[in-house]
Chain A
Amino acid sequence: MDTENIAFKELLDSIRLVYGYDFTDYAEASVKRRVNNFMANHKIEAIDQLAKMILKDEKVFEEFIQELSVTVTEMFRDPPFYKSLRETVLKRLATYPFIKIWVAGCATGEEVYSIAILFKEEGLLNRTLIYATDINQKSLQTAKEGMYPLENMKQHTANYQKAGGNQPFSEYYTAKYNTVMFDKSLKQNIVFAPHNLAVDKSFNEFQLIICRNVLIYFNQKLQNHVINLFYESLCPFGFFGMGNKESLLFSDKQQFFEDVDRKQKIFMKTK
């Protein structure tokens, strides 16, 4: 291992010890890319210098964390996933008197509002509680506010329609200047809270867990850990939806999940 790699590992170790954020089992290449970006933007030459700054100054650390987990997301991303969710999972969930959902790694919330819309349209939202979690506090704040740039709505509306939506999409939000705000009736049943999949425990039992495009950032060991966490948090016959390119391959619970829609990566806990 060269000295740069050693310094990189030491940086992640000290962040874990000092701040309790554990990035040591993340897929390395993306984290390195982000660390390098952060260093370039802040004109920091060497990793040890970055480590010193981060460990000394909590503000720098906040910025660093922000950079390390900033992402883009959108409403009804991968429309066929939502279409399938509506057609296969929601029907079966309708038999429960009360439905609890966990959207893990919700980023800025577009995914959560998409799910709330699906449940509303199927007449289930008033007996549903959605827990939406992420490690990025700033993203969570945006999610809570439910305010997004107007210019994104064209794409979101197109996705909504491709996902089988047939209501006038603009009825779900009000536009003001260049911003739209999603309706209170959607927010009412959503709880936004910080939760770190790498270190925090299960906090409830759910009929549906959705965690998309988060596991790709983890190594196999952490993927397994997190899928175990989801397994423990699902009720019997609960549903689990993943991202397009994610799989249960590295999970020791693989045989306890059954395909609901193999292509759209929707599974059911069987045991």
Chain B
Amino acid sequence: MAAHGKYEAIVIGASAGGLSALTTILGALPASFSLPVIIVQHRYRDQMNLLEEILQNKCKIQIRQVEEKEKVEAGIVYIAPPDYHLLIESDNTFSLSSDPQVSFSRPSIDVLFESAAATYRKSLIGIVLTGANKDGAAGLLAIKKAGGLTIAQSPEEAEYPYMPQAAIDKGAATLVLTLKEIQTRILNC
């Protein structure tokens, strides 16, 4: 796995305002990016594949909605399907669950982040972007506690500052960066 450096995966959580923030970050990634990128974006459950299609239009790297039990692979951006929690198993595969909402959300960023922290420990980068609730703060803290690198989008820049601010207030963010800085940071992984 971690052939290219100290990290094995990147997880990103986004809510309101997430589409444009994600486009900025993912648009900069080459098709051959050396890590898997796994994303929970809060979304309406009726729009089955819309988010993936919009992002794919603007990105070189492959974007796809997670299929349950598939293996996590580098160079792919995985998006959690609407109405399911997304978790990462210790054997590097995805699983989905219909458990009740967490932080009023399904998929929940906390659920993804906490399971990813358990699997990747210090080889994980966690990023919390714009949003109007506090999903992701507890998950980011779990990543930090496991020794991973944690980043919150700068609340000044975020379209909806509440979510990155909640992560910062919880003491979960090692770095507070703008989207441009996040781009540079992950391109150098």
Contacts and interface: CB of A to CB of B under 8 A. Distances in A.
Nearest to B101: A72
Nearest to B69: A220
A38 B89 CA distance: 20
A30 B118 contact: no
Interface in B66-115: 67-69, 81, 83-85, 87-90, 95-101, 111, 114-115
A71 B85 CA distance: 12
Interface of B: 67-69, 81, 83-85, 87-90, 95-101, 111, 114-115, 118
A28 interface: yes
B84 A30 contact: no
Interface residues of A, number: 23
A71 B88 CA distance: 20
Contacts of B87: 27, 29-30, 33
A61 B26 CA distance: 46
Contact of B100 (A27, A72, A216): A72
Nearest to B90: A28
A73 B99 CA distance: 9
Given A29-B115, A29-B118, A216-B96, A245 B89 contact: no
A30 B99 contact: yes
B96 A245 contact: yes
Contacts of B111: 33
Contact of A246 (B68, B88, B100): B68
Contacts of B114: 33
A216 B95 contact: yes
Contacts of A220: 69
Contact of A217 (B81, B97, B115): B97
B48 to A, nearest CB: 8
Interface string A57-77: 000000000000011110000
Q: State the majority secondary structure of interface residues on A.
A: loop
Nearest to B96: A216
A33 B115 contact: yes
A28 to B, nearest CB: 6
Contacts of A33: 87, 99, 111, 114-115
Interface in A214-235: 216-217, 220
Given A29-B115, A33-B87, A245-B81, A216 B67 contact: no
Contacts of A91: none
Given A29-B87, A33-B111, A71 B67 contact: no
A71 B81 contact: no
Interface string A21-59: 000000111101110000000000000000000000000
A244 B85 CA distance: 13
B92 to A, nearest CB: 11
Contacts of B83: 244
Nearest to B86: A29
A133 to B, nearest CB: 17
27 contacts: A27-B87, A27-B97, A28-B89, A29-B87, A29-B89, A29-B95, A30-B99, A32-B115, A32-B118, A33-B99, A33-B114, A33-B115, A34-B99, A70-B100, A71-B98, A72-B98, A72-B100, A213-B98, A216-B68, A216-B98, A217-B95, A243-B98, A244-B83, A245-B67, A245-B96, A247-B67, A249-B69
